[in-house]
């Protein structure tokens, strides 16, 4: 097989056998395309690259292209996964990533909104317009559930059960989970239904949140609208993930256990959820210093 065919086989395997999300698979494809270009520039096949070739590529990505550590770590992970696949299929005899030390990525503590900031953001959409009411409903659902933006825009009508107050979503790796909806989110969803019918027009769609004429809303479109609401509310940098962080932080600060938050967020490993304990530890320290007589 050619190098391009090897990459295509790996991509297909990740999509069909491992069930990785479309976004993850596309990220793998972009990273491995860079690897293909690098190998071609060296006059080599990707099957003949060694550890030194990969180190040189990482150094170029860092020093000449200015990639941040998170990008380098993601690239290294994709390449390591690719060569492990080639080894398992016996398509290469040596794994050049075996002794490739992972570049350390400093874990940044998640930022989050205060309850007052959340209320300010929620108040921004114009409830008198179709798009504004839809956006407010999306914001209520996002903050009530902690969904990823891809999960939010991918919701279908069948994913909702307003009688039980639950929704079903499909996260990373197409993993399904059930998430409770708060009372306010349920009320907005009930009121959104006739709005959705107007947005749908004469078209048909299973998607819950729609653009006019029944068109699907993209992650990028929602991101841009959210950024505008953040600016109006005085929140300089507002992203869907910031609301997800705020959801998790609010739960933990009010006594939720880490395991429950892990399940609600759809984290496969609880160590991913544990980053929020740093935030709640800071909160506990503030409470202690404020109220303990010997603090």
What are the residue numbers of the active site? 148, 172, 241, 244, 267, 276
Identify whether the C-beta of residue 66 lies closer than 8 Å to the C-beta of residue 101: no
Q: What is the DSSP string of 49-90?
A: --HHHHHHHHHHHHHTS---HHHHHHHHHHHHHHHHHHHHTT
CA atoms of 140 and 127, how far apart (whole Å)? 13
Q: Does residue 131 contact residue 138 with C-beta atoms inside 8 Å?
A: no
Tell me which residue of 286, 224, 230, 226 sits closest to 117, measured CA to CA. Answer: 230
Q: Which two tokens stand for residue 278?
A: 């740093």
Question: What is the maximal distance between C-alpha atoms in the chain?
Answer: 72
- Number of neighbouring beta carbons within 10 Å of residue 73: 15
How many CB atoms lie under 10 A from the CB of residue 147? 27
Point out which residues pair with 180 in neighbouring strands. 166
d(CA 124, CA 135): 9
Q: Which of 146, 173, 141, 143 is nearest to 160 (CA)?
A: 141
Residue identified by tokens 């320290």 is 285
Distance CA 85, CA 99 (A): 16
């Amino acid at each position: 097989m050619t190098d391009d065919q090897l990459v295509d086989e790996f991509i297909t395997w990740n999509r069909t056998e491992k069930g990785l999300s479309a976004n993850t698979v596309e990220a793998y494809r972009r990273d491995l395309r860079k690897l293909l270009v690098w190998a071609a520039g060296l006059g080599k096949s990707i099957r003949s690259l060694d550890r030194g070739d990969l180190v040189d590529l990482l150094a170029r990505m860092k020093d000449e292209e200015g990639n941040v550590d998170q990008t380098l770590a993601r690239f290294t992970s994709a390449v390591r996964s690719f060569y492990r696949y080639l080894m398992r299929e016996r398509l290469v005899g040596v794994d050049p990533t075996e002794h490739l030390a992972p570049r350390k990525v400093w874990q940044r503590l998640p930022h989050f909104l205060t309850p007052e900031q959340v209320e300010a953001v929620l108040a921004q959409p114009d409830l008198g317009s179709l798009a504004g009411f839809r956006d407010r409903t999306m914001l209520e659902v996002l903050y009530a559930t902690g969904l990823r933006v891809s999960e939010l825009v991918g919701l279908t009508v069948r994913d909702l059960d307003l009688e039980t107050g639950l929704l079903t979503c499909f996260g990373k790796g197409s993993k399904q989970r059930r998430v409770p909806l708060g009372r306010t989110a349920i009320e907005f969803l009930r009121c959104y239904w006739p709005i959705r019918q107007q947005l749908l027009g004469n078209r048909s769609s299973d998607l819950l949140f729609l653009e006019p004429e029944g068109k699907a809303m993209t992650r990028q479109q929602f991101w841009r609208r959210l950024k505008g609401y953040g600016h109006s509310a005085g929140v300089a940098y507002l992203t869907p993930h910031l609301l997800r962080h705020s959801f998790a932080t609010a739960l933990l600060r009010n006594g939720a256990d880490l395991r429950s938050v892990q399940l609600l967020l759809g984290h496969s490993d609880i160590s991913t959820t544990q980053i929020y304990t740093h935030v709640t530890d800071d909160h506990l320290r503030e409470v202690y210093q404020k109220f303990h007589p010997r603090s």
